[in-house]
Amino acid sequence: MSNQPAAASGTFSIGGDLPINRLGYGAMQITGPGVWGEPKDPEGALRVLRRAVELGVNFIDTADSYGPFVSELLIKKALHPYKNDLVIATKAGLTRSGPDDWRPVGRPEYLRQQAELSLRHLGLERIDLFQLHRIDAKVPLEEQIGELALLQKEGKIRHIGLSEVTVDQLKAANEIAKIVSVQNLYNLAKRDAEPVLQYAEANNIAFIPWFPLATGALAREGGPLDAIAKEHNAKPSQLALAWLLKRSPVMLPIPGTSTLSHLEENVAAAEIQLTDEQFNALSDAV
């Protein structure tokens, strides 16, 4: 493994002006159980964040609701003042009342409040990528995206992204403001968001797959992931990340973890080069 293996994942420029290494880090798992409260090992969480950057990760994805705010505060404690090339993306639009409980709230005044809090908690003057965590069906889309566009005009956020949307919702939001990223559930075993990925590819929109390591039965002993992983002296989870990176140039996987060993394993996946034959074999295995 090289000193900065994340660089082997290739680069993508978010919004045309934020170049990053495509393999990033998702900071949800550095909170407590149920994505609630402080982690059991706060110092360990700080070490993971610092090590990710040492390994060449320069795109970290978090959200105000992770903790809530625990993830953002840990990122600030571990990494502030930030390296010039480090892009931190955060999200707002899901509220929390306890572990594993998530409820959409997209009222403009709430989104503005959370953006201001994220600026403070992350120690930033401007958030490079601010994502609507979920569209709130009770609030007109133009009010939700419109408030983010106003924050953008005020210089508090640089770019706007969405999470868990359909192609029609993405198109509608793009009529209100420029959308530069979309974050949907997508992995080797579950590809319902394929139409959204194809739209993102056609429009040079970053596609950030959450839950990227899910492999299901594909990783069973003797299964397709297991067999090809052995050819690369790698683990099935690493092959799942390598497959995502090869699938599309707009793909930005953000595997998360709370342990150093798993972090290094994930980032090392950037150096695995699948052949077309191996890629197709995995694609067709589902």
pTM: 0.96
Known catalytic residue at 186: no
Nearest C-alpha neighbor of 72 from the set 38, 99, 109: 38
Q: Check whether 216 has a pLDDT greater than 70.
A: no
Hey, what's the torsion of the CAs at 51, 53, 56, 58, to 10 degrees? Answer: 150
Nearest C-alpha neighbor of 140 from the set 116, 176, 113: 176
Nearest C-alpha neighbor of 187 from the set 197, 174, 176: 197
Q: Check whether 285 has a pLDDT greater than 90.
A: no
Decide: helix, strand or coil at residue 80: coil
Annotated active-site residue in 66, 82, 110, 186: 66
Structure confidence at residue 286 as a pLDDT band (50, 70, 90): confident
Q: Check whether 219 has a pLDDT greater than 80.
A: no
pLDDT tens digits for range 92-109: 999 999 999 999 999 999
Domain layout of the chain by residue ranges: 5-215+249-257
Looking at residue 203, its pLDDT comes to 97
Question: If you average pLDDT over residues 252-263, what whole number do you get?
Answer: 96
Question: Under a CB-based contact definition with an 8 Å cutoff, are residues 265 and 36 in contact?
Answer: no
Rounded distance between C-alpha atoms, residue 140 and residue 53, angstroms = 38
Find the largest Cα–Cα distance for the chain.
55
Count CB-CB contacts under 10 A for residue 172: 16
Please state which CATH number belongs to domain 5-215+249-257: 3.20.20.100
pLDDT tens digits for range 113-154: 999 999 999 999 999 999 999 999 999 999 999 999 999 999
Average pLDDT of the chain?
A: 95
Question: If you average pLDDT over residues 44-66, what whole number do you get?
Answer: 98
